Amino acid sequence: MAAQEITYRDALRQALDDAMRDDETVVVIGEEVGRYGGAYGVTKDLIASYGEERLIDTPISEPAIIGAAVGAAMTGLRPVAELMYVDFLGLVMDQLANQAAKIRYMFGGQIGVPMVVRTQGGTGRSAGAQHSQSLEAWVMHTPGLRLAMPATAADAYHLLRHALTLPDPVVFIEHKALYARKERTDLAAPVAPWGQATIRRAGSDVTLVTYSRMVFTALEAAAALAERGIAAEVIDLRTLNPLDMATVAASVRRTGRAVVVTESCLTGGVAAELAARIGEECFDYLEDPVIRIAGEDVPIPVSPALESAAIPQPPVIISVVQRMLRR
């Protein structure tokens, strides 16, 4: 397959199409995933190829969607359950955190729950406080749940394909502001393995650790910092469970400084866990304390200007790094 311009959305659709063609046990279940083609168009036209038995439209009941997916996974299918927004995780935490995450352990390894929960998170569409959150810390906090958060179209494709081969439940969070982003890529070309971070930009002065949409925010900041003579390394974690601390630690030991950038809120979030782990594993190499740059501890505003101000932007990263390096 030659390199081509492809959107994040189309890469996800291709991953589902290829997986459903290769494995007849893969089914998609959720609100408007069939005839309508999904809230963000990821499953558009798949029903024409696979029919209503494999693209299953459900009532508006998130607990029913995840509960049915858990049961289907335990009895031989490999369901892809779509939650229209990550904000609805609160409705399904019993099915997801108390059942799907624990069944392999509770049954002594005799049965697993090979399902993928596709959902959409983050800001950028002025969707308001109940449809714009970044709740990956909820998932990361629950043992038994795998968690993928791809930034690029290539990773969206490959991480979803791999998630659909795993024996345990995967929460797959897609950033809603990335769906229309185009990327020239060859989907047949290999990417980093599942669970391994990628260095998106090499640098020697400071390590920026991030994932999902914030990868591009960090890259923009790194490009601006380079013009000021500062070489920032940008690490895209790609998955948060498994978490590749080896790549992060190796980078921080070289640069001596680390900044964690997340869209999720500051208090008790993923940034706190990453900062703590870096502090524990790289203490002897750090020239400065690890800095967290994260979303504000506020409900996400619907106003575009206020929404933008509630999450990290390149000027903030640039300012923090310059102060760290005293330049």
CB 247 within 8 A of CB 196: yes
For residues 180 and 299, state if they share a domain: no
For residues 92 and 180, state if they share a domain: yes
Arithmetic mean of pLDDT, 161-180: 97
The pLDDT of residue 52 is 96
Q: pLDDT digits over 65-110, tens only? A: 999 999 999 999 999 999 999 999 999 999 999 999 999 999 999 9
Q: Whole-model pTM?
A: 0.97
Arithmetic mean of pLDDT, 117-133: 96
Backbone angles phi, psi at 124, to 5 degrees: 115, -5
For residues 211 and 100, state if they share a domain: no
Q: Work out the angle at residue 125's Cα, subtended by the Cα atoms of residues 225 and 209, and round it to the nearest 5 degrees.
A: 35
- Cβ burial 223-262 (10 Å sphere, 16+ → b, else e): ebbeeeebebbbbbbbbbbebbbebbbbbbeebbbbbbbb
**Does 141 participate in catalysis according to the annotation?**
no
Burial-class residue 189 by CB neighbours within 10 Å (0-12, 13-18, 19+). exposed
The pLDDT of residue 83 is 97
Whether 47 is covered by a domain: the verdict is: yes
Domain residues for the domain of 315 are: 198-324
For residues 226 and 119, state if they share a domain: no
Beta pairing class for 55-57 and 232-236: unpaired
- pLDDT higher than 90, residue 149: yes
CB 204 within 8 A of CB 255: yes
What CATH number has the domain bearing residue 281? 3.40.50.920
Residue 151 tokens, joined: 């930034």
For residues 176 and 202, state if they share a domain: no
The pLDDT of residue 1 is 61
Whether 192 is covered by a domain: the verdict is: no
Arithmetic mean of pLDDT, 158-183: 97
Helix axis angle for 214-227 and 314-324, nearest 10°, is: 50
Task: Please provide the average confidence, as pLDDT, over all residues in the chain.
Answer: 97
Q: Which of 185, 208, 241 is the last residue of a domain?
A: 185
Least confident segment among 18-27, 181-190, 232-241, 313-322? 181-190
What CATH number has the domain bearing residue 130? 3.40.50.970
Residue 182, classed as helix, strand or coil, is strand
- Which candidate, 254, 204, 252, places its Cα nearest to that of 230? 204
3-state secondary structure 217-285: HHHHHHHHHHHCCCCEEEEECCEEECCCHHHHHHHHHHHCCEEEEEEEECCCCHHHHHHHHHHHHHHHH
Give the separation between CA 6 and CA 177, rounded to whole angstroms. Answer: 15
For residues 137 and 206, state if they share a domain: no
Whether 191 is covered by a domain: the verdict is: no
Arithmetic mean of pLDDT, 54-63: 97
For residues 160 and 25, state if they share a domain: yes
Q: Which of 127, 153, 185 is the last residue of a domain?
A: 185
Q: pLDDT above 90 covers what percent of the chain? A: 98
For residues 206 and 161, state if they share a domain: no
For residues 247 and 169, state if they share a domain: no
The pLDDT of residue 297 is 97
Whether 282 is covered by a domain: the verdict is: yes
The pLDDT of residue 327 is 84
Residue 41, classed as helix, strand or coil, is coil
Whether 288 is covered by a domain: the verdict is: yes
Q: Residues 31, 82, 131, 158: which is the catalytic one?
A: 131
pLDDT band for 112, please (50, 70, 90 cuts).
very high
Q: Which of 150, 185, 220 is the last residue of a domain?
A: 185
The number of distinct structural domains making up the chain is 2
For residues 154 and 213, state if they share a domain: no
Residue 219 tokens, joined: 């890259």
Q: Residues 24, 32, 52, 62: which is the catalytic one?
A: 62
For residues 63 and 179, state if they share a domain: yes
CB 205 within 8 A of CB 252: no
Arithmetic mean of pLDDT, 286-298: 97
For residues 103 and 236, state if they share a domain: no
